[in-house]
Structure 1
């Protein structure tokens, strides 16, 4: 691993090029002020695909997954869309010894909560995400969510949070509800539809994007979906790492 930005004046030694999880955690630390902060973590091929055959794993790498785990290890809550939960077979976040001391010092629990955004609550409540989490899975939905699905979700141990009028979820309201529960270190892993909604609402503070040195062709979705913004939202490069041709960038709101 080498740092391309911010630029340093010297070549890293062999030891420095081997980034530990602790060093990655320092590099991806949340802002020190403790206020609500929403970051997204996504991967894209060179030709803009966010997935291949419906999943992100084929365009990922071992280092990308280490960063994925590090970002989860720092977060209070992981926000994800229902379609991604179904496609990727989402499981509960697990406690990891490598982050235990850091999380304890920050007053965090052993693992982040998973918060699923779903209007219909069309989810498998017998899946491990609901039957075996260290902390209860959260469901962010609208006031028009089917009552029978709400009851089924709550019977499975999930906490249902109404964060919108009608069927949809309002991003600002959802994030405020999570922050009100002390979940201020917020991480979203998409998918593209959810990330597009967050971008449209201009609530994203940071994008962590892995650029994979792969080409997929086809008609795979980009990392964001939905309508185009009237005016592009400008972000500034905060850091850029490289390993085996993969680029790991962080951009924050300008």
Structure 2
């Protein structure tokens, strides 16, 4: 596949230049980026503890949804990287609200992708771990009916035992990671106990805000979709507490349709 440098002389395109591209942007050159090279760009570091990667798509003006769903912000480049990030992960973590809003099912992988994962020492298909302090998940949802592996439900001691029993009966692996709520420390401990070092979190804003406030985020993969949305759409992270975590850009990719994909990694202390 050909990837062309466009708009930024240090950016790499995910699709060839399009005749529809217009404006005053200048194409500086072309280069090839193979699937293996793209995979290396997004490879997890070699660590022995959970490395928590966040992935989000947002509009130019910061909206993370259009009419309640992120689907309206998706572009071909974003969808390509979204799928790749799932293929590289041990587990996909998501908040229950986002799972409901986006109608989550299990991770879908091709036979070739499963083979690559097994060759790389991963399970054939990564499970989806849904965070819900009250176990507010429908056992008839696609998380249970459209999946190759059972979902993991990360909940608290305060969850309704009837709901917990129904989820367990539906096949969920229920994990308690806090007393009244799911804590960041409890979530990370659960991930470590399961040997999930390559963690991909896909939202939502409340969960990501908590993880940022508790200083457990290692990386952010952010796609900027070439759209202005306006309205009252939520931002990427929401929390009662603020935090300052220094991040450095690992790479910037640009597609000819204006999509910008960035990978930000936290700066090591000291």
* TM-score normalised to structure 2 length: 0.86
Residue 195 of structure 1 corresponds to which residue in structure 2?
208
User: Counterpart of 1:225?
Assistant: 238
- Inter-partner Cα distance in structure 1 for 2:196 and 2:9: 30
What secondary structure sits across from 1:130 in the alignment? helix
Q: Following the alignment from structure 1 to structure 2, what is the Cα–Cα distance between the partners of residues 98 and 227? A: 43
Equivalent residue number for residue 86 of structure 2: 72
Structure 1 residue 162 corresponds to structure 2 residue 180 = no
What's the CA shift string for 1:26-52, capped at 9, x where partnerless?
Answer: 211111345421101001111111111
How far residue 128 of structure 1 moved from its aligned partner, in angstroms, is: 2.5
**1:6, distance to aligned residue in structure 2 (A):** 6.1
Are 2:184 and 1:171 aligned? yes
What is the CA distance between 1:106 and its match in structure 2?
A: 2.5
Residues 1-254 of structure 1: pairs in structure 2 closer than 5 A: 1-2=3-4, 11-13=29-31, 16=32, 19-166=33-180, 168-229=181-242, 231-243=243-255, 244-254=257-267
Contact 2:11 2:254 in 1 (8 A): no
Gaps of at least 5 residues in structure 1 are none
* 1:131 to partner: Cα distance: 3.1
In the TM superposition, what whole-angstrom CA distance separates every residue of 1:68-88 from its partner, at most 9, and x where no partner exists?
Answer: 000000001000000011110
**Aligned-pair Cα RMSD in Å:** 1.9
CA–CA distance in structure 2, aligned partners of residues 98 and 245 of structure 1: 30
Structure with higher Rg: it is 2
1:125 to partner: Cα distance: 0.5
Q: State how far apart, in whole Å, the 1-side matches of 2:188 and 2:49 are.
A: 12
